[in-house]
Structure 1
């Protein structure tokens, strides 16, 4: 079965123009990421690759292979599957995990034999006929993927095979949250209470777990999560969209933007907020009671409205009785617009020559960002700076 989660990011482009000079724009290109679950154990796969044999020593070819979302089996006196014996069978489960660095406590409960490897190290070895019993071992895990492998056999009677792990001690060298991800804290309760049972960094909040668990050691039902991230966002109006089943709420810079903290079927909520630009703290809280589990967050952005151009007192005009704007002007005044057709006359009879004169106009304008086309019409020479 192939599962896909696709991420799409919106691109933004900004251009600046100051009078005649245009600066280059920058562009954040869209990106997408595809996560796939394959038949063989994939790196950080959320499922176990399971294989079953109709003997107690995993010999020969398995009679059944399949993917399983959890390793918490209590078959009692039944069979794992119609193809597998009720007694006298064995199994192997394999998967990769990606965890927060630290010391992890692994537990294995079995009736009869069980053994557990982490990255090839045998940390639990209880390969014998026995009544149900639980064993534990600790192992330090760093960044990157880690291979977990479990082997089990059932001789007769009750059949139980369960494996789990929790973070015992976080690594003191755990770095600060990456700027490109969310700090996710997952709890095995619905109220975000106590110490989180799983801490990890999620690239995005776009989860459609359905009836599966969100991660290692977290319940499929009755859990909660909190995601936190600090982002640099441009000024403007934002509409946040949150899709949840069951409850969720969203805070932006400590302000509640969406509050849908209740048991419900999948639903989408929106909330609007205006941001001044700069660092923004976004936090989403979520809980799942039972059945389908969904948590999705996104937003749209509209740039802040540009201030209209400031009223102008016109152009400062300096007129010279020569063609090279040299010396002192013979006339200084404010012209409301540069739109003159003097013909054979003077700009100011008695002060400025009819021929062989020059003029400089200057004005400071406050213009919104954008692309501008400047035009000039002249007889004789003209330049614009």
Structure 2
């Protein structure tokens, strides 16, 4: 939109706010937090619209205006962000007005964003018919996953073992909570009950009715050598199309997924091209870390329970995917594959990873990692290599302050040789190093997700160092990496 039109819109909205008796306020610009020219920032006055969930974005809420434009909403403070989420929970039809500062697209995402200073419910206009009854707030309390992989644990804390996971947008009824209301017990089915952290889910419904559920702390396990993964046969279903649709023409069992069909058919009653296969089984994982490895030509995807673990569902030459996850217990595994044309190849395996899972963590009561340190301790890994969500709390109450602090984690991890992509999600700033070389620099205030590729990592142990600071409001940091190799050239011999 041209600058004059932005100015005209601001003037009209400002006049509307004055006539309606609302005070005009402009969101404070934060030049230290973003790299946006001041001339690109525009004040927003009483902009009307409705609120919608924004899955997969660095912000959690969209404002949808009358012309169907979408703006990402970020609260200027934690209190404003909480108010935005509370209003969104009241239903998609609720009309609100927003005051703040508009940032152009490209700052955090491909959507323009509004840093919200003030938000309120818009007064309905006079109508010739009676005002409809507003949609009531859901009375049944629920928890909805806000990230692509939400850990579900056997108890209220990261020290409890994993029992499964939730995909982004998946919602389950809440049946209990801990004393601090920071962990919530959910029941997704008759056999799937566990606990989720409030930082990973959106809460809705009448939470005041949720009772405290006492839970005994987990017993400290006696260290034992990691046994191999319990292996059973895969059930393989073959389809004469590339979409896994209709009835399979062949259902059989195979001991392992290790196939190189070349340009031939996988079975006598299947074509050599345009076929698909689904492999399924349940795997028992002793507590530990596991590497999932996939090599494919053309497309494949891997599910761990309901979680999409690896996804390369497109035509292409042989390529590899690899991820590491900490697991314990029985998990359904599903591998889906399709062949379009030419060479056909599929290999998949899961192996234990034997390396130290501890971080050496050091905390400082300032945002700049300035000595002296106030706390040093050993901390375990989570489902992701580093995954912490303190919300508005301190990482160590009474020792580390809840705002204006920083921390450093150092650990050693085993890498296979190859090119890796490192990913960091944080609020506020984060830096990541491998063997002293910086691979991510997002040392600024606010929520952000940053990715960077690091090529030619050698096989063996490497030191990972993560530095983080918290300015104020919500505090969280999540770090992970994955290996990805495209176009591997000649295929393996059958």
**Which of structures 1 and 2 has the larger relative contact order (alpha carbons within 8 angstroms, sep 6+)?**
1
Q: Tell me, yes or no, whether TM beats 0.5.
A: no
Which structure's residues are more often helix, by fraction?
2
Q: Highest Rg: 1 or 2?
A: 1
Q: What TM-score results when the alignment is normalised by the length of structure 1?
A: 0.33
